[in-house]
Amino acid sequence: MVALHDLVDLDRYPLHEPEGAAYVAVVDRARAQLADTGCALNKDFVRPEAVSVLAAEIESNKVDTHFSRQDINPYFHTEVNPDFPPDHPVNTFIERSSGFIPGDSWEPGCANEVLFRAPEVARFLADCLRIPELHCYADPLAGLTSNILDPGQQFTWHFDTNDFAVTVLVQEAEAGGSFEYIPAIRSADDEGFDRIAAALAGDRTDVVSLDLRPGDLQIFKGRYSLHRVTRVAEASRPRHAAIFAYTEQADVIGRVERTRQLFGRVLPEHEAAEIARVRGDALLD
Ligand SMILES: O=C(O)CCC(=O)C(=O)O
Ligand SMILES: [Fe+2]
């Protein structure tokens, strides 16, 4: 089986020595970036040879991708809300066309999974995010995924519903497919609708285009920062990113509706979790 040191450049990112000064320096840099822009970019986190392995695994699992195309508002909704004017962000719907390789597609022990499940990686991410501990998202479909943008596809402006996202770009598009974001365009007590409306209409003020390269590990706080992946050019190769989902609580499973939206199906685990949520316990009848 692949080991962590085969995958991560431990000279640059000494995840195996969390007490050392080098580790602390790397974490401090990520913390500063997160505080500043909500985005920490860990360049060349994955070794170049390992990036090829991650890419080959994604390529071979790509047949399992669930592609979907919806016109969404920044809040991931698709329906008009009559409480808001027609030109309001809530009623501005733009194309999201992309696909996800689901969590049950990966060979156990494959490189993508080893990287996702390595306790050292979860420890590092928790330290960067100043969270006591992180667990791999227990959702059987949404825990370990790959976001696929084929030529002509785009993932339009949106906010994430989770507090942070962890991404490794594995294959970059030659044209288009760039990650763009507007730091802190909203906050817990300010929706920021005016600036959001301007951004959706094409205003580039405050748009940051991230210099993301294959092997880079991105930690992104997407609750307050509007972000998108621009359209991959028709003549380009596809853009493939590995997406690692973690939760602060253990054993979290995603909602049925959202799972259907992204993966086109649900598993018995999702149905059971939904019933337990309604009842407030997981007991049989
Ligand atoms: O593929 C990416 O880099 C991130 C896409 C994204 O924003 C998301 O899946 O919420
Ligand atoms: Fe997102």
Instruction: Give the model confidence (pLDDT) of 14-28 as tens digits.
Output: 999 999 999 999 999
Q: Which residue of 227, 228, 230, 263 sits with most ligand 1 atoms within 8 Å of its CB, as the best mutation to test the pocket?
A: 227
What contacts 249, CB < 8 A, 6 or more positions away? 135
User: Interhelix angle for 268-279 vs 256-263, to 10°?
Assistant: 160
**Which atom belonging to ligand 1 lies closest to the Cα atom of 179?**
3
Give the relative orientation of helices 21-37 and 119-129 as an angle to the nearest 10 degrees.
50
For 38-109+135-252, CATH gives 2.60.120.620
For residues 215 and 44, what is the distance between their CA atoms, to the nearest angstrom?
A: 5
Atom from ligand 1 closest to the CA of residue 228: 7
User: How far apart are the CA of 147 and the centre of ligand 1, in A?
Assistant: 7
Question: What is d(CA 48, CA 256) in angstroms, rounded to the nearest whole number?
Answer: 37
Cα–ligand 2 centroid distance for 41 (angstroms): 15
CA angle, 196 then 201 then 206, to 5°: 55
Span from the CA of 137 to the centroid of ligand 2 (angstroms): 16
3-class SS of residue 265: coil
Q: What is the pLDDT of residue 113?
A: 98
Residue with tokens 């359209």: 231
Q: What is the pLDDT of residue 281?
A: 64
The domains of the chain are located at: 38-109+135-252
What pTM was estimated for this model as a whole? 0.95
Tokens read off for 193: 């609708």
Pocket lined around ligand 1, Cβ cut-off 6 Å: 147, 155, 160, 167, 179, 227, 229, 241
Return the residue matching tokens 């990520």.
30
- Amino acid identity of 122? A
Q: Which atom of ligand 1 is nearest to the CA of 241?
A: 1
Nearest Cα residue to atom 7 of ligand 1? 228
Range scoring the smallest mean pLDDT among 16-20, 122-126, 234-238, 275-279: 275-279
Classify residue 174 by its DSSP letter: S
pLDDT digits (tens, 9 = 90+) for 215-244: 999 999 999 999 999 999 999 999 999 999
228 CA to centre of ligand 2 in angstroms: 7
